[in-house]
């Protein structure tokens, strides 16, 4: 039997291979946490037990990269992740990119699923693309769970999300540091102002600054927006001008992320589990679900041991909300 086959049948081997940074093993492990079939719950438990056995506790600094589609988040993350592992030989970096589902094609917006390519042999870098299953972006149904595995295996975990509004707020709930990535396009800043989104990020990135004139205009507009949106705060908020295409300004951004690793203690995703669970219920069951949730005290202990909502999911499937709530 070849090594990958052995790994697929034995969770300990799978976890060991994933911890060594073997991409196929990582992909398999992650897909266990994306699997909606009933029998996947048992495999998740086994995988988590194997992670515990290895002492693979949550350790990653979780960094959100969020903003408009096409701003260059994926391109930039490719460059930034490589630079981070180059400057620190002990560091490992994972990227989870959540693309809005395209209603027409069922695929990713702008087809950017393949945009981040890491060198094949580099075990300290891992990239995973997911669909948000929502046309307007936000986190995917399983993003949270996948991140809770990857935060145990990598030192820095980037989560890329698309969308104006919702996804920034969602990623804020568990990211230790959030960057809002803008591109030099007229109108951008106005949209962000409207959504109140300027209040979310810890720092701003204006990418595509190889387009100099547009970049200057956008920087100016961003500073002006910030002085309204975050008065008093706006002078201290870092703004990075970058180009994923030429590498311009990337060093300063990488430096900021590296500094965050030493200055911010990762919260770990467990702290955000309850909020995430409520959203999971709200997304699937809407207002009705939230009303039901309020009356179910047992849900207080969102299944921290399983690091998934499997038990709650079974409950919802087997015992749907009482029909009187439908009225």
Q: Pick from 23, 44, 73, 82: which binds ligand GDP (CB under 6 A)? A: 73
Q: Shortest approach of ligand GDP to residue 68 CB, angstroms?
A: 7
7 or 178: whose CB is closer to ligand GDP?
Answer: 178
Check residue 251 for interaction with ligand GDP (CB under 6 A): no
70 is an interface residue for ligand GDP by CB under 6 A: yes
User: How near is the Cβ of 90 to Mg ion at its closest, in Å?
Assistant: 28
In angstroms, what is the minimal distance from the CB of 20 to ligand GDP?
A: 28
Please say which residue, 65 or 144, places its beta carbon nearer to Mg ion.
65
Of 22, 47, 62, 74, which lies in the binding site for ligand GDP, with binding defined by CB under 6 A? 74
- Is 167 near ligand GDP (CB under 6 A)? no
The sheet with strand 93-99 has its strands ordered as 125-131, 93-99, 156-162, 61-67, 177-182, 203-206, 239-241
Task: Name the minimum Å distance from CB 170 to ligand GDP.
Answer: 17
Q: How far is CA 257 from the centre of its chain?
A: 16
Confirm or reject binding of residue 254 to ligand GDP (CB under 6 A).
no
Count of C-beta atoms within a 10 Å radius of residue 319: 10
**How many beta carbons lie within 10 A of that of residue 180, not counting itself?**
25
Tell me which residue has its CB nearest to ligand GDP: 72
Q: Is 115 in the site for ligand GDP (CB under 6 A)?
A: yes
From residue 280, how far is each of 42, 142, 284, 319 by CA, in Å? Answer: 21, 10, 6, 16
> What is the rounded distance in angstroms from the CA atom of residue 49 to the CA atom of residue 54?
9
DSSP secondary structure letter of residue 266: -
- Give CA–CA dist 205/64, Å, rounded: 12
Sites of contact with Mg ion (CB under 5 A)? 73-74, 112
Among 69, 165, 320, 321, binds ligand GDP (CB under 6 A): 69
Continuous H helices in 40-199: 40-53, 73-87, 143-150, 166-172, 188-194
Q: What is the DSSP string of 132-152?
A: -SSTT----TTHHHHHHHHTT
Question: Is 271 in a helix, a strand, or coil?
Answer: helix
Judged by CB under 6 A, the stretch of 34-42, 63-71, 219-227, 267-275 that binds ligand GDP is: 63-71
In sign, the C-alpha dihedral spanning 205, 211, 216, 218 is: negative
Measured torsion, CA atoms of residues 161, 165, 234, 267, in degrees rounded to the nearest 10? -50
For residue 35, the partner it binds in Mg ion, ligand GDP, none, with Cβ less than 5 to 8 A by kind, is none
Is 214 a binding residue for ligand GDP by CB under 6 A? The answer is: no
Judged by CB under 6 A, the stretch of 27-35, 120-128, 205-213, 223-231 that binds ligand GDP is: 205-213
Q: Which is nearer to Mg ion, 44 or 82 (CB)?
A: 82
For ligand GDP, give the closer residue by CB, 110 or 203: 110
Shortest distance in whole angstroms from residue 266 CB to Mg ion: 23
261 forms part of the interface with ligand GDP (CB under 6 A) = no
Cβ proximity of 50 and 15 under 8 Å: yes
Nearer to ligand GDP, 227 or 246 (CB): 246
Q: Which of 210, 278, 306, 310 binds ligand GDP (CB under 6 A)?
A: 210
- Contacts made by residues 216-220, CB under 8 angstroms, sequence distance 24+: 217/184, 217/186, 218/182, 218/183, 218/184, 218/185, 218/188, 218/189
Site residues for ligand GDP per CB under 6 A: 69-75, 110, 112, 115, 207-208, 210-211, 243-245
């Amino acid at each position: 039997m070849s090594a990958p086959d052995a790994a697929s049948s034995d969770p300990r081997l799978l976890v060991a291979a994933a911890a060594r940074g073997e991409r196929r093993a990582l992909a398999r492990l992650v897909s266990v946490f994306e699997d909606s079939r009933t029998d996947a719950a048992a495999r998740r438990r086994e995988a988590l037990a194997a992670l515990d056995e290895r002492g693979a506790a949550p350790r990653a600094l979780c960094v959100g990269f969020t903003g408009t589609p096409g701003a260059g988040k994926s391109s930039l993350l490719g460059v930034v992740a490589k630079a981070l592992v180059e400057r620190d030989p002990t560091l490992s970096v994972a990227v989870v990119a959540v693309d809005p589902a395209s209603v027409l094609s069922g695929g990713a917006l702008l087809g950017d699923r393949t945009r981040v390519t890491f060198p094949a042999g580099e075990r300290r870098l891992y990239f995973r693309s997911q669909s948000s299953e929502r046309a307007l972006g936000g986190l995917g149904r399983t993003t949270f769970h996948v991140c809770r595995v990857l935060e145990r295996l990598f030192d820095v975990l980037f989560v890329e999300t698309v969308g104006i509004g919702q996804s920034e707020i969602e990623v804020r709930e568990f990211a230790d540091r959030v960057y809002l990535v803008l591109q030099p396009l007229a109108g951008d800043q106005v949209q962000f102002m409207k959504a109140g989104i300027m209040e979310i990020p810890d720092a701003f990135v204006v990418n595509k600054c190889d387009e100099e004139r547009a970049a200057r205009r956008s920087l100016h507009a961003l500073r002006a927006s910030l002085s309204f949106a975050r008065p008093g705060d706006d002078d201290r908020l870092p703004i990075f001008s970058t180009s994923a295409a030429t590498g311009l300004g990337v060093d300063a951004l990488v430096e900021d992320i590296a500094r965050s690793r030493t200055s911010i203690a990762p919260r770990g995703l467990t702290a955000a589990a309850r909020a995430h669970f409520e959203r999971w219920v709200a997304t699937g069951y809407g207002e009705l679900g939230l009303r039901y949730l309020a009356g179910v005290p047992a849900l207080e202990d969102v299944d921290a041991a399983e690091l998934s909502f499997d038990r709650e999911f079974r409950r919802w499937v087997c015992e749907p909300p009482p029909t009187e709530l439908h009225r």
